[in-house]
């Protein structure tokens, strides 16, 4: 079973999904994105061979998977029925047999039509394998259900935030003259493993150039006094990722840099304070966006100011969860148990926090000093 979630956690998730399925008049739903599979069953793996989880409206689910991966699937997942296929076999006949065993060969089958695992050619094979079935678009229903975190999920995110803080302290300490950004990455990854997070990439680490440096490249160029290193760390514990972002000055921070950081921190503090249940995302976004532009810290603001946090799968294509994002047209409302990565960058400065929405208001899970870091 899963090391962090009890069986009743998964039962609750499936029950929520089945409510959505019943409303859509779907007899069975198939999920092949790794995030959805893992959230529903506790296990997910890469798409080297197509695989899926089948959740019927009534009866037992199944996990269709290549034979090589069946044992790890059974070890981590609560799903007992795991039909398999050999690597050189087509999984569609095995899927058809699993549905036939449940009397669902001609069922209304729910899919996410926007799944990154269901290109046109695969969907055509699915239709050919199930000529009597009717396919219904459920949309990103699991991504929507995942927005509200359970206490066990929040605990993982809280722990991940603690790892992020300590790892960033160590990464910042490695930013000294003559070293490179690679030393900061090494310190962060070592901290992840030592502190109990999943092994994996540290997150974007790069020398700052202007303000649009957030997703720059890791370079081996020696750092010199006056340089600024942008560090965004994305540790995960069992896939659950908190995030924090700071910049590190090599030597004393320039007065203009320190002043910009102070302005940005104050604006973002106002934004985070407004993140209360019922708040409209666009209005929360405007506090920071308008403030930055009015202060002349940027002449344009083309990116969002925050997005959903939660479970991230290493083999999946999504490095961020944009199910809910903060931008000028975002009319959705904040609700308790949502968690977000709120970030800002301008004038060579970068700051971000992991924020939990509680019934009483926002709680900042990451706790580093909100300023330009320096070893001077």
Of 119, 135, 139, the closest CA to residue 127 belongs to 135
Token pair listed for 277: 């249940």
Superfamily of domain 7-145: Creatinase/prolidase N-terminal domain (3.40.350.10)
Q: Which residues contact 29 (CB under 8 A, 6 or more apart)?
A: 17, 21, 54, 55, 109, 110, 111, 138, 141
Tokens of 138: 């459920």
How many Å apart are CA 319 and CA 296, to the nearest integer? 30
d(CA 86, CA 348): 53
What is the residue-level pLDDT of the chain in tens, covering all 376 positions? 789 999 999 999 999 999 999 999 999 999 999 999 999 999 999 999 999 999 999 999 999 999 999 999 999 999 999 999 999 999 999 999 999 999 999 999 999 999 999 999 999 999 999 999 999 999 999 999 999 999 999 999 999 999 999 999 999 999 999 999 999 999 999 999 999 999 999 999 998 654 455 566 788 889 998 899 999 999 999 999 999 999 999 999 999 999 999 999 999 999 999 999 999 999 999 999 999 999 999 999 999 999 999 999 988 898 899 999 999 999 999 999 999 999 999 999 999 999 999 999 999 999 999 999 998 7
Q: Where are the domains of the chain?
A: 7-145, 151-374
Query: pTM (2 decimals)?
Result: 0.95
Q: What is the DSSP string of 242-257?
A: --EEEEEESSSPPHHH
CATH 3.90.230.10 fits 151-374, yes or no: yes
Alpha-carbon distance of 100 to 354, in angstroms, equals 46
Helices 7-23 and 34-41: angle between axes, nearest 10 degrees: 120
Q: Tokens 């680490």 identify what position?
A: 205
Q: How far apart are CA 72 and CA 198, in angstroms?
A: 17
Contact 373, 172 (CB under 8 A): yes
Are 350 and 214 in contact by the 8 Å Cβ rule? The answer is yes
Q: Is 313 left (phi over 0), alpha (psi -120 to 50) or beta?
A: beta
Over the stretch 336-356, which tens digit does the pLDDT of each residue have?
999 999 999 999 999 999 999
């Amino acid at each position: 079973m899963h090391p962090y979630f009890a069986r009743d956690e998964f039962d609750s998730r499936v029950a929520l999904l089945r409510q959505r399925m019943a409303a859509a008049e779907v007899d069975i739903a198939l999920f092949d994105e790794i995030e959805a599979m893992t959230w529903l069953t506790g296990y997910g793996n890469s798409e080297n061979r197509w695989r899926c989880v089948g959740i019927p409206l009534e009866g037992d689910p199944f996990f269709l998977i290549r034979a090589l991966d069946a044992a790890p699937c059974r070890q981590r997942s609560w799903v007992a029925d795991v039909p398999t296929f050999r690597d050189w076999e087509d999984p569609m006949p095995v899927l058809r047999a699993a549905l036939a065993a449940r009397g669902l060969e001609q069922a209304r089958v729910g899919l996410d039509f926007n799944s990154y695992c269901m290109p046109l050619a695969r969907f055509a094979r699915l239709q050919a394998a199930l000529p009597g079935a009717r396919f219904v678009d459920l949309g990103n229903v699991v991504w929507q259900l995942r927005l509200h975190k359970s206490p066990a999920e929040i605990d993982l995110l809280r722990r991940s935030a603690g790892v992020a803080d300590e790892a960033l302290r160590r990464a910042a300490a490695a930013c000294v003259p003559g070293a490179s950004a690679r030393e900061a990455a090494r310190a962060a990854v070592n901290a992840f493993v030592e502190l109990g997070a999943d092994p994996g990439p540290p997150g974007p680490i790069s020398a700052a150039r202007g303000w649009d440096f957030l997703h720059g490249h890791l370079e081996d160029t020696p750092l010199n006094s006056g340089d600024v290193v942008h560090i965004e760390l994305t540790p995960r514990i069992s896939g659950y990722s908190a995030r924090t972002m700071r910049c590190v000055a090599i030597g004393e921070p320039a007065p203009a840099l320190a002043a910009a950081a102070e302005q940005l921190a104050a604006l973002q503090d106002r934004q985070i304070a407004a993140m209360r249940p019922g708040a409209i995302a666009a209005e929360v976004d405007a506090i920071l966006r308008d403030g930055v532009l009015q202060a002349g810290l940027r002449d344009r603001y083309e990116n969002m100011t925050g997005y959903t946090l939660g479970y991230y799968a290493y083999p999946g294509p999504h490095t961020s969860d944009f199910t809910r994002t903060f931008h000028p047209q975002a009319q959705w409302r904040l609700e308790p148990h949502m968690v977000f990565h709120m970030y800002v960058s301008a004038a060579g400065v970068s700051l971000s926090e992991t924020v939990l929405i509680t019934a009483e208001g926002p709680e900042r899970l990451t706790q580093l000093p909100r300023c330009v870091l320096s070893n001077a």
